[in-house]
Amino acid sequence: MRFLDTNVILRYLTRDDEAKAQACYELFQQAKLGEEELFTSEAVITEVAYVLSSPRAPYRLGHEEIRARLLPILTLRGVRLLQKRVYVRALDIYASAPFLDFEDALSVAHMERQGITEIVSYDRGFVRIPGLQRAEP
Q: What is this structure's pTM?
A: 0.89
pLDDT (0 to 100) of residue 5: 98
> In angstroms, rounded to a whole number, what is the distance separating the alpha carbons of residues 16 and 18?
6
The pLDDT, as a whole number, for residue 56 is: 85
pLDDT at 40: 97
Which pLDDT does position 57 carry in this prediction? 78
Name residues of the chain where pLDDT drops below 70.
none
What does the pLDDT read at residue 108?
Answer: 97
- Note the pLDDT of residue 96: 95
